[in-house]
Amino acid sequence: MANIVAIDDERSILDALRRILKRDGHEVRGVTDPAEVLGLDLGRFDLMLCDVMMPGIDGFELVRQVRPRFDGPILFLTAKVTEGDAVTGYGMGADDYIRKPFGAAELRAKIAAHLRREGRTHTHALSFGEVRIDLGAREVAVAGTPVALTPTEYEICELLARRRGQVLSRRQILEAVFGWEREADEAAVSMHVSRARKKLAAEGVDPIATVWGMGYKWQL
């Protein structure tokens, strides 16, 4: 599952992207005005889809501006790709192109491949009001004060924050954070979440919500 931001001035394209990518569990934030992207917290997205020909700021210029603060893959959506367009796009920081009209299978396959290959070191941060998650330092701070989380507690916080607003089950958290440590169980997830919440509450924030019968979500 990934959080994806898609920028296209045609709402029908954004609707199609949501429908297709929902099949793989991805969440898509659709944006019709490219200028709006400049004000988003891009650190919480895993991948960007961007149209090239848009009014105001075109895709090339938008990617040039956001690439310094967005570490994830960027894929252009475009009706025509000439060699010159490709050179320009890659030079601005794009990773790939998807031609319009695109097929559902091709779109899903390309996004899956880029997410699998995503191995760049993330050095930016996720910010939610007074709560800041430094991805490079692997540290959570509230109003500038670091919270003394254990590595596992931090990993759970980062996982939930990256999926902001999405409910993750204890099983999903267990598999994502503990991986091969088979002796861990879902009760361990509850324990680590409880400890992380107490430490964060001591600093005056409560970013993790319990969704009874389902799991947890980042609510800031």
Q: Note if the bond before 68 is cis, omega within 30 degrees.
A: no
> Six-digit token pair at 172?
């999903």
Q: What is the CATH number of domain 3-117?
A: 3.40.50.2300
Q: How far apart are CA 36 and CA 149, in angstroms?
A: 34
- Which residues of the chain register pLDDT less than 70? 80-87, 89-91, 117-123, 179-184
Could you read off the pLDDT of 40-88 as tens digits, one per residue? 888 889 899 999 888 888 888 998 898 888 877 888 888 766 656 666 7
**pTM for the model:** 0.57
Residue spans of the domains in the chain: they are 3-117, 125-218
**pLDDT of the residue at 96:** 80
Domain 125-218 has CATH 1.10.357.10: no
**pLDDT of the residue at 123:** 63
Sign (positive or negative) of CA dihedral 192, 197, 198, 199:
positive
**pLDDT of the residue at 131:** 94
Beta strands in the chain (DSSP E): 3-7, 27-31, 47-51, 74-78, 96-99, 125-128, 131-134, 139-142, 145-147, 208-211, 215-218
